[in-house]
Every structure is written in structure tokens, then in C-alpha cells.
Structure 1
């Protein structure tokens, strides 16, 4: 995801519940300290924050659900005891954050117990929820257990949300969930996906986020995974995508003046960063140097240094299967019931390559001078459209000219390095 507030305005206003430093391998710790007793090993595999799909069960039927959630819980779910053993392994690996997701995570009765267990081991816990199960009692229980943040999905306002998520009244229930979480003392955020059905509500949704005083709003591009892969015809035309990124740019500037505490982000298409960098160059040239530094410093496609980390997120589903991302469920690297997550990642060729995706990208993405910035955008869309993890992402809306690509032809093509991009970052 792209922190638009920081990228455009230079403001780091992340919610306190979302701030952390990765403390892999016992290196110098973050706000909660270094959990390693033995000093760690710089050569140990680096485990990122973990998204755990706690259950396949959900009470909604969202059109874009990447998980393809179902009505009822599964007897294949990790038990409470297994989940605690899983958390023990994560703590041993110095995982900084555990995200409880689903389905709907609050369907599980033991979420507060598990959050408290993780919290006692120095791990931050957050949740990704539809909000409808966040009663005052549940919100208070998880807040007391140390849960720092909950992100609630709102895909439009009122009927737009209800229709997109398949249940009448789900919008009002989600608002109540947000308010209950805030009353319990948690940081809150809103997540929303842009499609032809929801996009007209985006300005009203930003206004609503301000009115609700949530800490962040994260606007997603559509990912072609799960049920999201069945509605690709509702994805925005490229020109409309540009219009909405322009809109987010303007609102980011506005919020810096009117509501500096609220963080605005985009996710699901790192081409936004390149597009906005070009826009900053034209319209806010005094901010261009800082933006360029952030562009390459935070980009998911960067070539990492030894011990400098890999992908920032890994996914474990309710059965314990390990996937490179919650959007890549067809790629399974192992199972945490059989081996610790750290060992699974250490032995995974896919995980190793995803640590440096720019080395492996093909097609237009492989030729792009900005591939170290975006890492090829969404590998899930590449798989969905081309059946190939390293193929180009069909949703890069930038022109060859904007990317600095010259005349491309044949298998290799040619690449013209943009003069304003540091050449030492254009490694292949």
C-alpha cells in the first residue's frame, strides 16, 4: 500500500496502533523492545507481519471477497490450542504484527483470548473486519486484550455498500462497529474497493471517514482473487482510474490542512506511486526530491540487501496453509501444523524470489525502469490474467512515455532510463 499522506505531504500520521518496527532475528527492536534473548542471527529468514485467515465463515457475501468466504465455520480451522502454538512460533521468529482476518474474524469466540496471548509476547494485534460483529462487548474484550487497531470495510455509502456486500443493513451495522471500537479505545480505519459500482461514492466515503474521525482510509484497486476474479468487468477504465487517483491526490493535500490526523492510502496498484510522483514533479516540484527518495525506499520491488528483509506480508489460512499473500491462495508454500512459519519461508523458492520481484518480472513489467518501485504491481492479477506469477500486471495504467520506456519490439525491447531516476536504483 502507498501512504499518500506521507508521500504527498511528508506527514507521518500513522495511527499509534499501526506503528511498529520490524525486529526480525533479534535486531534492534521497535516500540515494544527486542524480544530476542540470544542476539539473533542476521542470516536468519526474515518473517514479516502475518495475516491469518482465522475462519472461512462470514455473514456477508461481498462481491469482491478475495477469500470466497462461506456461511459456516470449518472443522479444519486451527483450534485455540493450535492457534496458541502458532503464535508461539511467530513470537520466536519476532513477527511484529498479527492480523486477524477471515472470513469474519469476530465469528470466532476465542479472538480476544488469542489477541491477549499474542500481546503478552510483545506482538501487536490488529483485525480486518466487516464491522457487523463488533458489538460493544466484543470491542471492549479485544481492546482489553491489547488489540490496537481494527480496519472495517465500507464499499460505498448506504445502499451502495449493502448491495455490494450482499446484506441489507450491513452499512449501518458497520458504522456501529466502528463507533464501538472507538469507544473501546482502539484506533480505527476504513477500507474500500474501487469498482464501477462503488466509485461514485468515494468522495462521500472520504467525507464520512472525516466525520467518523477514523484514523485512516485505505482505497483499494480491485484484486482478481476469489470472487474478485469473477467481477473483473466491473474494474475501472484506465482513464477513470487516473481521475480517481487525481482525486485522492487533491484530497490528500486538503486533509493536510483540514484534518491532519487522518491518513489516506491507496493499495492494490503501485503504479499510483509512479503516477503521483510525476504529478508532484509537475505541480509541487519543491517536494519532488523527498518523494523520489520515498519512492525507492519503500517500493516493494526494491533489490534488498542481505538482512534487509523481504516481502512485508505473508498469509496463513484457517487450515494453516502458508501463502505468499492473501491474494495468492493458489500458491501454497507449506503448513504451520507441520513446520514453523520461519522454516516454511526459509525453504520456499517462491518466497525467496518475491523478496526481490524486480529480478524476475517479465513482459512490460520486466522492462520497466520503475520495476523496483512497484515490484510488478499485483502478482495476483498477473496470475489471474496470464497464469504466470511473473507476467506483467494488466492493470498498469501508465503509458510507455510516463514509464520512460522507449520503442519496444521483439522479445527484449529497449528501455530508456528516465533522467530523473537515480541510475543506481535501476538494477536488473
Structure 2
């Protein structure tokens, strides 16, 4: 993938604060859990630099962005610097007034809300009592003011049996065009609560099959770049390639990174430290306003190192020796690889199909795959 001259978009963790403590949160107890938030004035100065670098979009996250009392002023600074913005939120602090303000900016791409169940029992199991009804209220306020709403469902042991209910709630009752899914990954607070929330091989198999069936039922309206749905799609393709005797899948057999990072995106922690990705917040690239974004983007050795991971063949790793899937695999997320192995430039054990099958996991039927593109 070609490296952009400057980042097209930037992920901004504008606060380290959150009103919830979800059991699987990847932020807390990570390197991004840094204490005091960067003052408003320093963010506003950085927005001017983003404008000069022709950055088009920023994503506000945290923590919980709506915990910042000066959020409106920060958003006004984004708008004044001709950028558009999205927000990742748990939804519980969104009021009618807040939704009206977001709509009034004319620059809000949308708000992604986290919903983990169709009923309070499953949603609140990891997020805390009362969070379901507050998040649903936040969605209603956003819809009232015609702010684009998307939903991310994090799949864990408490809600794997409620996925049909979740799809019905989001796609039929609320009327969203689509929603996306991920899973509780071994980062942040999930490391402390892994035995409670992470999917076993058996539950992972169930989640993959259920989501593929639901995606077929709802004509591709469920999306995923990680988690059981993404795993199911990729692993079925890998197994079919092995059975068909394909030498390799084009572009596979080497380490890759997720999405565009760090080819067209970069991130900033709540304390103003630039990092390759919010989930790789231990790799510090320099504080905003002290170091020029353009210089960091093109010349920082850590970014160069991570970008070069796509040239590392999986055959270099003892972990992959003798694997039948080596020429069909990507090694998956570098952040999760670091958490599990201590090295970003290593295959992620959590994404290993061979290990999944050894642990008793089963792949879904290939007939569950749909050929149409997802619409999310």
C-alpha cells in the first residue's frame, strides 16, 4: 500500500476519562492510560497543523469523548479548520442538546455507539448497570436530529447467545442500515478479565456460525474487520485454498497491518503523544506541537519499522513452522501480536487458524458465505 504524503485521517483520544469501566476495555491499564488530558488550547493549536497538512477527517475517542466539558469548543476548532469528524462513544452521556449541536456543525460524519446486547442483562454484564437504557436513549437523540448513527457490537461470553436478538434490535427495531462487530481482545482490562469475557474456541465457533447466518439473512448488513465474523470469512477462505491446493493467496504469507494504519492514518493519545495506532500506544512518536506531524509521518524510525512488516514472510517465524495455512495467512493485528508475544512484528497467536482448530474450534459451512459486498 502506498504511503500518503500526509495522513488522510487522525484518531484522537481526546480524554483518558470514562464514566464506565467495561470489563474488556482495551484502553485502561494500557500505555494509553496516561492520566491527565491535554488542555484544550494545545488541541486547538494541533488542529491548525492538521489543517495545514490537509487532513480531512478526525475521529474523537477516549476514554469517553463526552466526558470532556469543553468538547463543543474542541469540535468548533475542528470545524474552523475545515475538517470533518466522527465520534466513538458508549452513548450514555448523549443528550438532546448534544445531538442538536452535532447536527448543527454540518461536519459530523457520524457517531458510533457501543451496544452489546438486545436487553439490559447482556449489554450491562460487561458495561455496568443502567448503561443499556442510557445508550439506547443516546441513539434516539441522534436519530431525532438526523445525525448518522452506527453501532459496534463487541462479542464476548455474556452476549454470544444474544446475537440474533442484537441483529433484530439494531436492524429491524431501530432501523439501522447495518452494524459492525468485533470481539473482546486480550488488551487493557480484558487481560484482567479474560476468563470471564474472552470467547473459548467453542464459543468462537458458535459466534462465527451465528454471525455468518445472520449476515446472510440480512443481506450483508453486518460488517467486521476483526472478531468472529471476520475470522470466519478469512478462515473459510484459507481452508478452501488449502483444500484446493493453491500455492498461495495473493498478498498473503506475509505480515500485514489492519486498515490503513500506518499508511494513511496516525493516532494521538490523551496526553498529546503521537502513536502509530491507539492500540499501539506504547510506541511513542513525539508530542504534538513539539514535533511536526509531517516530519514524524515521513521520517520516524518506528513508523518505518511497522510499515516494513509487510515484507516479513511468515516462514521466518518458528511459530508458523510446518503450518498448512502459512501461504494464506496475514499474521493479523500488530497490536494484539505485541500484547501476546511482546513484538509487533510477529504473527498474532489469537488469529492463528491452526491453533484454533487444535483447541477444538470448528469452521462454519462455506455455504454460509455470501458473495455480495457488505453495505456498512
Q: TM-score, normalised by structure 1?
A: 0.69
Q: Tell me if the contact between 2:3 and 2:263 (Cα under 8 Å) persists in the aligned partners.
A: no
Structure 1 runs (4+) deviating above 6 angstroms are: 279-282
Q: Are 2:164 and 1:194 aligned?
A: no
Deviation at residue 252 of structure 1 after TM alignment: 1.8
Which residue of structure 2 aligns with residue 155 of structure 1? 116
C-alpha spacing 1:313/1:207, structure 2 compared with 1 (3 Å): farther
C-alpha spacing 1:277/1:49, structure 2 compared with 1 (3 Å): farther
Q: Tell me if the contact between 2:16 and 2:35 (Cα under 8 Å) persists in the aligned partners.
A: no
2:213 pairs, out of 234, 241, 250, with: 250
Which residue of structure 2 aligns with residue 390 of structure 1? 345
1:264 pairs, out of 212, 219, 223, with: 223
Q: 1:315 & 1:159 partners in 2: Cα distance? A: 34
Q: Tell me if the contact between 1:51 and 1:98 (Cα under 8 Å) persists in the aligned partners.
A: yes
1:52 is paired with a residue of what secondary structure? strand
Q: Deviations over 1:213-270 (max 9, x none)?
A: 22432211222221122223332123432332232222222212xxx7x453342576
Which residue of structure 2 aligns with residue 109 of structure 1? 69
My pick for the range that moved more, 81-90 or 346-355, is 346-355
RMSD of aligned residue pairs (Cα, Å): 3.6
1:189 is paired with a residue of what secondary structure? strand
C-alpha spacing 1:310/1:52, structure 2 compared with 1 (3 Å): closer
Deviation at residue 208 of structure 1 after TM alignment: 1.2
Q: Tell me if the contact between 1:178 and 1:188 (Cα under 8 Å) persists in the aligned partners.
A: yes
Q: 1:65 & 1:95 partners in 2: Cα distance? A: 28
Paired residues in the alignment total 339
C-alpha spacing 1:152/1:400, structure 2 compared with 1 (3 Å): closer
Q: Are 2:101 and 1:141 aligned?
A: yes
Q: Deviations over 1:164-216 (max 9, x none)?
A: 113x2110000000111111111111112222222222221111111212243
Q: 2:9 & 2:209 partners in 1: Cα distance? A: 30
2:347 is paired with a residue of what secondary structure? coil
Q: Are 2:139 and 1:173 aligned?
A: no
Residue pairs, 1:251-400, within 5 angstroms: 251-256=214-219, 262-268=221-227, 271-277=231-237, 301=256, 310-360=262-312, 362-364=317-319, 368-371=326-329, 374=330, 376-399=331-354
Residue pairs, 1:219-258, within 5 angstroms: 219-233=181-195, 234-256=197-219
Unpaired segments ≥5 residues, structure 2: 243-247, 358-376
Q: 1:92 & 1:324 partners in 2: Cα distance? A: 20
Unpaired segments ≥5 residues, structure 1: 1-41, 283-291, 303-307, 403-428
2:350 is paired with a residue of what secondary structure? coil
Q: Tell me if the contact between 1:68 and 1:227 (Cα under 8 Å) persists in the aligned partners.
A: yes
Q: Tell me if the contact between 1:382 and 1:388 (Cα under 8 Å) persists in the aligned partners.
A: yes
Which residue of structure 1 aligns with residue 366 of structure 2? none
C-alpha spacing 1:310/1:322, structure 2 compared with 1 (3 Å): closer
Q: Tell me if the contact between 2:163 and 2:210 (Cα under 8 Å) persists in the aligned partners.
A: no
Q: 1:215 & 1:118 partners in 2: Cα distance? A: 27
C-alpha spacing 1:180/1:276, structure 2 compared with 1 (3 Å): farther
Q: 2:281 & 2:157 partners in 1: Cα distance? A: 25
My pick for the range that moved more, 153-162 or 95-104, is 153-162
Deviation at residue 271 of structure 1 after TM alignment: 4.1
C-alpha spacing 1:265/1:396, structure 2 compared with 1 (3 Å): closer
Greater RCO (CA < 8 Å, at least 6 residues apart): 2
Which residue of structure 2 aligns with residue 36 of structure 1? none
